[in-house]
A and B are shown apart, each in its own frame.
Chain A
Amino acid sequence: MLQMIPPKETYLSIRDLWKAFGSFIALKDISLDVKEGEFICFLGPSGCGKTTLLRAIAGLDLQTKGTVTQGGQDVSNLPPSERDFGIVFQSYALFPNLTIEKNIAFGLENAGRSKAEITARVRELLELVGLPDQGRKYPAQLSGGQQQRIALARAIATNPGLLLLDEPLSALDAKVRVHLRHEIKELQRKLGVTTIMVTHDQEEALAMADRIVVMNHGVIEQVGSPTEIYREPANLFVADFIGEMNQIGSSVAKGGRLAVGEKTFACLPHGLADGTPVIAAVRPEDVIPHEAGYLETSGNRNCIDVQLAEMEFLGSFWRCRLTNKRFGGKELIADFSINAVRRLGLEAGCQMEIELPDNRLMAFPVAGGEGAKQ
Chain B
Amino acid sequence: MTDTAQDMLPSGPAVKGKLSRDDIIMRGSMIIIALYLVVSLVFPLYAMLSKSFSTYRVELSQYEFQVSNEAGRFDGTILTGAELNARTNTFADADLSTGADGRLPVTGFFPDFSFRSPVMYQIRNTTDTGRFLIGSNLQTGTDWVTLDSNTFRRVQLRPVKAQGLDNFVSYFSTPALFNSIKNSLWIAVLSTVVTVSLAFWFAYALNRSCMKYKGVFRLIAMAPILVPSLLPGIALVYLFGNQGMIKELLFGASIYGPIGIVIGSVFFTFPHAFIIISTALAISDARLYEAAASLRSSPWRTFWTVTVPGARYGLISAAFVVFNLVITDFGLPKVIGGQFNVLAVDIYKQVIGQQNFEMGAVVSVVLVIPAILAFAIDRLVQSKQVALLSARSVPYEPQPNKKMDRIFFAYCTLIGIFIAGLLAVCQFAALIKFWPYDLSLSLNNYQFDRMDGGGWGSYVNSIKLALMTAVAGTAVVFFGAYLVEKSKGFRTGRALFQMFAMLPMAIPGMVLGLAYIFFFNNPANPLNAIYGTMAILVVCTVTHFYTVSHLTAVTALKQMDREFESVAASLKQPTMKLFARVTVPVCLPAVLDISIYLFVNAMTTVSAVVFLYSPKTTLASIAVLNMDDAGDIAPAAAMGMMIFYTNALARIIHLLASRGILKKTQAWRSR
Contacts and interface: CB of A to CB of B under 8 A. Distances in A.
B58 to A, nearest CB: 58
Most-contacted residue by chain B among A77, A79, A86, A369 (CB, 10 A): A79
A235 B18 contact: no
A165 B18 CA distance: 24
Interface size range of chain A in the complex = 35 or more
Interface string B540-583: 00000000000000000000010110111111111001000110
Interface string A48-73: 00000000001110111110000000
B5 A154 contact: no
B339 interface: no
A157 B585 CA distance: 24
Contacts of A139: 668
A93 B564 contact: yes
B571 A77 contact: no
A344 interface: no
A86 B15 CA distance: 23
B667 interface: yes
A65 B566 contact: no
B20 to A, nearest CB: 4
A370 B3 CA distance: 8
A96 interface: yes
Interface residues of B, number: 43
Contact of A64 (B2, B14, B566, B585): B14
Contacts of A350: none
A83 B20 CA distance: 11
A239 to B, nearest CB: 13
A220 to B, nearest CB: 5
Given A107-B572, A234-B1, A93 B19 contact: no
Contacts of B1: 219-223, 234, 371
A35 interface: no
Nearest to B23: A79
B573 A86 contact: no
A3 B650 CA distance: 73
A158 B572 contact: yes
B581 A79 contact: no
Interface string B1-25: 1111101011010111111111100
A109 B570 contact: no
B563 A64 contact: no
Contacts of B670: 140
A18 B10 contact: yes
Interface string A325-338: 00000000000000
A18 to B, nearest CB: 6
A98 B561 CA distance: 14
A77 B15 contact: yes
B15 A76 contact: yes
Contact of A369 (B4, B572, B582): B4
A85 interface: yes
B392 interface: no
A157 B572 CA distance: 12
Given A60-B566, A221-B2, A371-B2, A81 B572 contact: yes
A158 B571 contact: yes
B2 A234 contact: yes
Interface string B578-615: 00011001100000000000000000000000000000
Contacts of A86: 570-571
What's the dominant secondary structure at chain B's contact region? loop
B22 to A, nearest CB: 6
Contacts of B571: 86, 106-107, 154, 157-158
Contacts of A294: none
Contacts of A369: 2, 4
A25 B582 contact: no
A84 to B, nearest CB: 9
Contact of A97 (B17, B577, B586): B586
A235 B605 CA distance: 71
B116 interface: no
B15 A93 contact: no
A78 B17 CA distance: 6
B668 A79 contact: no
B528 interface: no
Contact of A79 (B2, B9, B17): B17
A11 interface: no
Q: Point out which of B7, B20, B563 has the most chain A C-beta atoms below 10 A from its C-beta.
A: B563
A63 B574 CA distance: 23
A95 B22 contact: no
Which of A64, A80, A82, A158 has the most C-beta atoms of chain B within 10 angstroms of its own C-beta? A80
Contacts of A217: 3
B651 to A, nearest CB: 25
Contacts of B2: 219, 221, 234-235, 369-371
B669 interface: yes
Contact of B561 (A28, A91, A155, A216): A91
A235 B3 CA distance: 11
Given A58-B566, A58-B570, 18 more contacts: A18-B10, A25-B7, A65-B14, A79-B18, A79-B22, A79-B23, A81-B20, A82-B18, A95-B581, A97-B582, A97-B586, A107-B573, A111-B572, A140-B668, A219-B2, A221-B3, A235-B2, A370-B2
16 contacts: A25-B9, A28-B3, A29-B5, A60-B566, A62-B17, A80-B20, A87-B570, A89-B566, A95-B564, A106-B568, A107-B573, A110-B573, A110-B574, A140-B670, A219-B1, A235-B2
What are the nearest 4 A-B pairs in CB distance?
Answer: A107-B571, A79-B20, A138-B668, A80-B569
